[in-house]
């Protein structure tokens, strides 16, 4: 919910902020019954200028004479991929859902992204992927529809009985679904999948990949016990607490 709204005053075209009448959300979560917490602030307006993004993408497709050659950038593939992901994003939806996070709550397997997208289209809503997370999904569907979809998925792929004993999981699964969920792939989703495959042939990745195999933080360095002096032992191997004052002065 917005905490303020910009309104234009005529004839000077000066914007002013108007406060909302009051909170329009319930005091507790309709899914779990827990108290809702107020978060923010967040930017609720469009984050990107679609016309400007298209101009930048054209710089990769058409080389301008005596102009900027975007393909000559050292990270041209990465930049073009991010711009493609941004151009396909829903610009009027500020936040997105994390499918792994929702699945973690229910302790269930993650549904294929194409099935989630098709379920939203079949229910009459729009969707896109956020440019910052390949496992996330942006949609104008309300939270209840997303949880209705997760309940329908759990019915197809049941979770372990001991997991169902979790009070939070039991409460969410016990709620009655108000949305007719269908995971049948739609033509819209199939077409976008074909377009993504074409981008893959051109070797344009919308999300950056690791530069090499097994790239990332490695295991912590380990040494012999006698060399680990950070555990409170001195060079002689004796605990620091047992050393005499004379030993300390000698150091």
Name the strand (E) or helix (H) holding 174: helix 167-174
At 251 the pLDDT is 42
pLDDT tens for the chain, residues 1 to 251? 676 666 666 555 555 666 665 667 778 888 888 888 877 778 888 888 889 888 888 887 776 666 667 777 777 777 888 888 888 889 889 889 999 999 999 999 999 999 999 999 999 999 998 888 888 899 999 999 999 999 999 999 999 888 888 888 999 999 988 899 999 998 888 888 787 665 543 555 555 666 677 777 777 777 665 554 444 445 555 555 554 444 444 44
First to last CA, the chain: 64
At 245 the pLDDT is 46
Cβ-contact 134, 206 below 8 angstroms: yes
Question: What does the radius of gyration of the chain's CA atoms come to, in whole angstroms?
Answer: 27
d(CA 114, CA 183): 9
Angle, in degrees to the nearest 10, between helices 76-87 and 50-61 = 140
d(CA 198, CA 189): 14
Task: Return the structure tokens found at 199.
Answer: 């981008």
Non-local CB neighbours of 168 within 8 Å, separated by 6+ positions:
32, 105
d(CA 42, CA 30): 23
Is the pTM here over 0.85, yes or no? no
Task: Return the structure tokens found at 85.
Answer: 């992901």
Candidates 98, 110, 103, 128; CA nearest to 189 is 128
- If you search the block for the tokens 């200028």, which residue do you land on? 49
At 61 the pLDDT is 75
């Amino acid at each position: 919910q917005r905490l303020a709204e910009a309104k234009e005053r005529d004839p000077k075209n000066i914007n002013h902020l108007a406060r909302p009448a009051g909170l329009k959300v319930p005091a507790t979560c309709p899914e779990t019954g827990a108290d809702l917490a107020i978060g923010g602030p967040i930017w609720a307006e469009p984050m990107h200028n679609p016309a400007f993004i298209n101009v930048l993408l054209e710089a990769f497709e058409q080389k301008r004479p005596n102009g900027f050659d975007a393909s000559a950038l050292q990270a041209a593939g990465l930049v073009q991929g991010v711009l493609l992901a941004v151009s396909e994003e829903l610009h009027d939806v500020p936040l997105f859902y994390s499918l792994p996070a929702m699945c973690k709550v229910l302790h269930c397997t993650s549904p294929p992204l194409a099935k989630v997208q098709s379920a939203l289209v079949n229910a009459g809503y729009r969707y896109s992927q956020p440019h910052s997370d390949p496992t996330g999904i942006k949609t104008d569907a309300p939270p209840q529809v997303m949880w209705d979809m997760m309940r329908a998925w759990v019915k197809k792929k049941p979770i372990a009985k001991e997991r169902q004993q979790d009070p939070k999981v039991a409460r969410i699964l016990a709620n009655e679904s108000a949305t007719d969920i269908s995971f049948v792939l739609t033509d819209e989703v199939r077409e976008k999948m074909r377009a993504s495959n074409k981008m893959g042939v051109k070797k344009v990745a919308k999300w950056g990949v690791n530069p090499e195999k097994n790239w990332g933080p490695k295991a912590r360095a380990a040494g012999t016990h006698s060399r680990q002096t950070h555990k409170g032992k001195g060079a002689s191997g004796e605990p620091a607490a047992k050393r005499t004052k004379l030993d300390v002065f000698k150091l």
